[in-house]
């Protein structure tokens, strides 16, 4: 609620499912972990490849680490930027 999450893909490929929080069923927000559990359908999936980045705003629900049948190792950095 107070942070941007910036996902930077360093190596590999990852899909992140996204939906607006307002369109999801919301659990209880944990301010220490900056985490809001959500359930519902994703509105889109974004595939990040090496060198890509994604900025998630507080109203963007996002589920990183979505993978198909082929599991693989990725390397990424996540930055939380206070806004």
CATH of the domain at 57: 2.60.120.370
pLDDT tens digits, one per residue of 36-81:
899 999 999 999 999 999 999 999 999 888 776 677 788 999 999 9
Bridge partners (DSSP) listed for residue 45:
17
Residues 53 and 8: beta-carbon distance below 8 Å: yes
What is the pLDDT at residue 45?
93
Give the structural domain span for 51.
3-82
- Take residue 11 and report the two structure tokens written for it: 């190596």
Per the structure, the count of domains in the chain is 1
Residues 5 and 36: beta-carbon distance below 8 Å: no
Residues 38 and 24: beta-carbon distance below 8 Å: yes
What is the pLDDT at residue 35?
86
pLDDT tens digits, one per residue of 16-42:
999 999 999 999 999 888 888 999 999
Q: What is the pTM of this model?
A: 0.83
CA 35 – CA 45 distance, rounded (Å): 20
Higher-scoring residue by pLDDT: 69, 2 = 2
């Amino acid at each position: 609620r107070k942070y941007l999450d910036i996902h930077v893909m360093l190596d590999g490929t990852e899909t992140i499912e996204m939906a607006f929080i307002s369109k999801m069923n919301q659990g209880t927000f944990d301010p220490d972990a900056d985490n809001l559990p959500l359930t519902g359908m994703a509105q889109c999936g974004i595939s990040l490849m090496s060198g890509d980045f994604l900025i998630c705003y507080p109203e963007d629900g996002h589920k990183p680490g979505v993978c198909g049948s082929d599991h693989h190792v990725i390397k990424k950095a996540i930055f939380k930027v206070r806004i």
